[in-house]
Chain A
Amino acid sequence: MPSAEAGEPAKGAGAARGLTAATRLICYFGVLLILLLPLPVLYETIADQFDQPPVWVFETTGYLIIMIAFAASGYGLSTGHHFRIALLSQKFPALARPLATLSGVLEALFGLILLIAGTMQAYGAFEQDLRSDTLLQVPQFWPMLAFPVGGLAILLQGLSHIIAPRVPDLRS
């Protein structure tokens, strides 16, 4: 998939690079999970042929995709994998930098909301000892941690973009 934003790499601010490095680290957890994702589904495919579909696969893969989505969410903002319309910046280059800063501010705001809301949700699940309805009885606290972790990654990347705004040059 082509990069949605072929902007200049973050440069100048060491802090911005450090924040991006932190989100990259979180992202690699998502990379590991997506490479593992086919395994339980393949197992389910084989078991299904013998009319014994393992229910745990449906549950755990659901958790896995949530973790993948949120673990890779922050770093995707720096690699240009998140779609955005860069038409205005292209037509009016003078606006590109302020718009990139605004984008960083709103990314950080969204990350903060997700971090707080996700923490509240996960803490609530922990306090009430919420478990899944299946035989596995997975404590919901663990998979729900994906939200605050994702929120943190988006917040960090947003802060990085406030410090060193990325100026996109391609609409996608």
Chain B
Amino acid sequence: MSLLAGSSFVLITLVMFGLMALGIPIFVAIGLAAFAGLALIFGPLHAMVDFTSFLWQSLNNFELVTIPLFVLTAMLVEESKIGDELFACAKAWIGSVPNGLGVAVILTCAIFASITGSSPVTAVTVGLIALPALAREGYPDSLRGALIAGGGTLGILLPPSLPLIIYGVLTQTSIGSLFMATVFPGLLLTAMFSVYVVLVHRPAVRARSHSMQERLQALWSALPIIALPVFIILSIYLGWVTPTETGAVAVAYVLALGVMRGRLDAARILRAGRSAALTSAMLLLIFGTGSVFARYSAMLQLPQHIATAVGGVPGGPLMVFTAIVVTDLVLGTFLESGALTILTIPIFFPIAQAIGLDPVQFGVMIAVNQEIAQIHPPTGLNLVTVSSISGIPLTRMMVSILPFIAIELVMIYLLYFFPTLTLFLPAHMSMH
């Protein structure tokens, strides 16, 4: 890479982040930067040809179809309000243990995340149901907000994680393997969050105990919803269907469930379709423009140069990995998780390979890292979202969210030192 090309890349990247900081939509900032970069190399006319050509190549991909399908599932779930039954079931079964309602929130978030694949959707939907219930039981505002924001992050990790789909397409890693790799870490994280919640609040809050009949009724009501994540994970693990096909089945299932329960009518379906189209457009445009930017950086052989340079860094792989974690965290505080993935993975992935990390293991670690970014004060998206739906000031959650961040940091290094946690299931799954 010549000095001039290197300098222009640095300048364009700085301008891109500058535009983002000024409040320009992220896909516009990335798109203009990518176009400017191509124009500097080829001239404006040729850059136009390459820009649309690269956009076309990056977006015309069957695996990307998974994104709008799961986004549509999430919107239909949100419209059909099936989270109510889920929370009622978790409350009936666990509410009476010490701080059980908090644990119920975490479990509801985990199951909900396994349907929607989206962290903000999980935080909003579970938050609207659970925040008032938690307040009634005497949970302080700071803990209520932190519970929802922290639990909501499971949406990034558990399948069908949208950032992991983007990661899979970018790095040509099997999305099915990535989904399977998140199951143990996701369950472990859910358990760690739950143990923390049981221990955190003293005196412990106990909700009223439910009779076995009430519990069974709640379970019966929630069973069709609980069945969906089980189907998603099992069908991919057993190789019945591909992740994209699972997305279509999930849409049909939620649609049927919502209509049968009288929760979905034409207007609600149309509203879900509108939200899904707009959200998918946001994700796909970030992916498309980000891919063009990645192609521009690849033309300058930047990822290889960085990977080579990083190879000589003292401290070995652990130090390099920690540098990735810190950089990703800092950027993730300001960037949406899809944009973060598309901008950083072309740089980080060759580095991760150079230090011997498995692509599947690295993908899951990056997902956990992005979970932290979602709740990182002062601007983590989940914190802002929970604050906006609950009216709890951000400042009140800033301390209570720290234990959730600490647990996730522990998880990242557990995944680093014990690759089996991520690689066991993918190694034993049937490939479709």
Judged by a CB distance under 8 angstroms, whether B170 is at the interface is no
Selected interface stretch from B25-33, B99-107, B419-427: B25-33
Nearest chain B CB to A136 CB, angstrom units? 14
Judged by a CB distance under 8 angstroms, whether B384 is at the interface is yes
Nearest chain B CB to A11 CB, angstrom units? 20
In terms of DSSP, what is the predominant structure of the interface of chain A? helix
Contact A117 to B385, CB < 8 A, known contacts A69-B284, A85-B20, A106-B32: no
Segment 57-107 of A: residues with Cβ below 8 Å from B: 58, 61-66, 68-73, 75-77, 79, 81-89, 99-100, 102-103, 106-107
* A77 contact from B20, B25, B31, B389, Cβ within 8 A: B25
Residues of B within 8 A of A45 (CB): 241, 245, 248-249
Contact mask A15-34 → B, CB, 8 Å, 1/0? 00000000000011011111
Residues of B within 8 A of A42 (CB): 248-249, 252
Assess the A88–B281 pair: CB atoms within 8 A: no
Contact mask A105-118 → B, CB, 8 Å, 1/0? 01101100110111
Judged by a CB distance under 8 angstroms, whether A135 is at the interface is no
Segment 210-254 of B: residues with Cβ below 8 Å from A: 241, 244-245, 247-249, 251-252
Contact A110 to B49, CB < 8 A, known contacts A1-B279, A35-B269: no
Assess the B26–A82 pair: CB atoms within 8 A: yes
* A71 contact from B121, B270, B277, Cβ within 8 A: B277
Judged by a CB distance under 8 angstroms, whether B124 is at the interface is yes
CA of A86 to CA of B282 in the docked complex: distance in angstroms?
17
Residues of A within 8 A of B26 (CB): 82-85
Interface residues of A, count at CB 8 A: 67
CA of A44 to CA of B71 in the docked complex: distance in angstroms?
20
Assess the A41–B23 pair: CB atoms within 8 A: no
Selected interface stretch from B53-61, B183-191, B195-203: B53-61
The residue of chain A having its C-beta at the shortest distance from the C-beta of B48 within the complex is A117
Judged by a CB distance under 8 angstroms, whether B120 is at the interface is yes
Segment 241-282 of B: residues with Cβ below 8 Å from A: 241, 244-245, 247-249, 251-252, 269-270, 273-282
Residues of B within 8 A of A61 (CB): 62, 65
The residue of chain A having its C-beta at the shortest distance from the C-beta of B432 within the complex is A48
Judged by a CB distance under 8 angstroms, whether B285 is at the interface is yes
Assess the A85–B28 pair: CB atoms within 8 A: no
Assess the B273–A31 pair: CB atoms within 8 A: yes
Assess the B275–A76 pair: CB atoms within 8 A: no
* B286 contact from A30, A64, A83, Cβ within 8 A: A83
Nearest chain B CB to A67 CB, angstrom units? 10
Identify 5 residue pairs between A and B in the complex whose beta-carbon atoms are under 8 Å apart, listed by A's number.
Answer: A28-B274, A38-B72, A41-B247, A83-B336, A113-B35
7 cross-chain pairs, A with B, having the tightest CB-CB distances, nearest first? A41-B248, A72-B281, A69-B284, A117-B48, A81-B278, A82-B25, A45-B245
Binding site for B on A (CB under 8 A): 1-2, 4, 6, 27-28, 30-35, 37-38, 41-42, 44-45, 48, 58, 61-66, 68-73, 75-77, 79, 81-89, 99-100, 102-103, 106-107, 109-110, 113-114, 116-118, 120-121, 144, 147, 154, 168, 170-172
